[in-house]
Amino acid sequence: MTTIDPSYRRSFHRTLASALKETLRPPKKSATKKRRKVTAVRSPQLKSQYWIIGIVLALNVIGLAMILSAGSVTATYDGLNTWHYFQRQGIWFLLGFAAMVVTSKVDYRRWGLQIRYLLAATFLLLFLVHIPGFGVNANGATRWVKLFGIQFQPSELLKLAILIYTAKLLADQQSKLSESRTFNAPVIIYFAAALLVMKQPDLGTVIVVGALMVIVMFLGGLPVLRLAGLVTVGAALTLAVSMSADYRRARVLSFLHPDSDPSNTGYQTLQSLVGVASGGWMGVGPGASRAKWGFLPYAHTDFIYTVIAEEMGFVGAITVLMLFIGLAAFGIRAALRCDDKFGSLLATGISMWFLLQAFINVGTVIGVLPVTGIPLPFVSFGGTSLLVGMVAVGIILNIDRQGHNE
């Protein structure tokens, strides 16, 4: 019988125990998985989405700060709580942020599939504006509808609805771009809506919606000559409408010669220019604007950029413009990464919406464009504009996510 050496037996037992211990031990996470997780966090998709959200939040924070500054004075003059406009905008911001998050999770293609219902709801609301008991008049214009105690401006929803409709139509009809029906359909929808909006009246929104529609039609591949003809007709009609009413004609003339009537038609433009010039390079400081103290009408709404330039100076004013340019750049980047024609056209259209409206508002404030009543997106006081704008940002976020996943 063979005898096993005790020292060898002990060595064997130690080796076996060590092997069993290694076998039963939970597997370590591989370095590859760690690297994969780090890479996912730093992926271009998440980076671009963080930038978009960050820019939008920055614009909202600036807007809330300026509304608190200018709106507190307006509220005092109106006999309201000093915090009235700030609180209302804050509530709309929270609702808008929640809507943006929800919309970013919804496949953007669903908006194209349901566009007929969105258009129908938009036209219904535009029609209700003109029905006594539903329409709300403010400052000589009836642009709001009140339902269940909530005041809403349907013309803001029209911007998004027209963009979705035009983008969806052109994406589905790429093989029929030369047909008249493809060209006429969005034009007919636009002019029908324009008639209802002009009755409010709101020429500024009509111009913005028309410009956005033409941009999407051009990018969608419709014949350039037809689009040129449409732009020519639209410009002629805009000029005719502008000169048809006394107050619009006065706005055009005051834009050309604001000094000719400094106490009436040119007053708002001149006071805006004074406020912008007073800011200098670095501004007079938070809350120290003088223009808001009864000198500049609508300081917390359409002319809030004047308060920004005065309190934050040239540096702050340029920063706001750069934020809009950055938002548009990331939106167009999402469009370029999207392989779907509908998503690409929609992301570009929304991006151009924010950029175009921002430049029109700033142009009005510094006197290079006539007064149009166009708000500064995410910054000017206004619940409907903010809510619809945040929904549009959510759509861009979803397009960006889908583009990276495809």
> For the segment 154-166, what is each residue's pLDDT rounded down to a tens digit?
999 999 999 999 9
The token pair at 56 is: 């939008």
* Residues 43-46: contacts with CB under 8 Å, at least 24 apart: 43/404, 44/404, 45/400, 45/401, 45/404
Looking at residues 360-365, what average pLDDT do you find?
94
According to the model, what pLDDT value does residue 33 have?
A: 44
pLDDT at 256 over 80: no
Distance CA 395, CA 345 (A): 12
pLDDT digits (tens, 9 = 90+) for 49-107: 999 999 999 999 999 999 999 988 888 888 888 899 999 999 999 999 999 999 999 99
According to the model, what pLDDT value does residue 25 have?
A: 53
Q: Give me the DSSP letters along 3-56.
A: PPPHHHHHHHHHHHHHHHHHHHSPPPPPHHHHHHHHHHHT-HHHHHHHHHHHHH
What is the percentage of the chain residues whose pLDDT exceeds 90? 60
According to the model, what pLDDT value does residue 5 have?
A: 53
Domain ranges of the chain: 45-405
Name the β-bridge partners of 142: 137
Distance CA 357, CA 338 (A): 24
The answer to whether 158 touches 126, Cβ cutoff 8 Å, is yes
pLDDT band with cut points at 50, 70 and 90 for residue 18: low
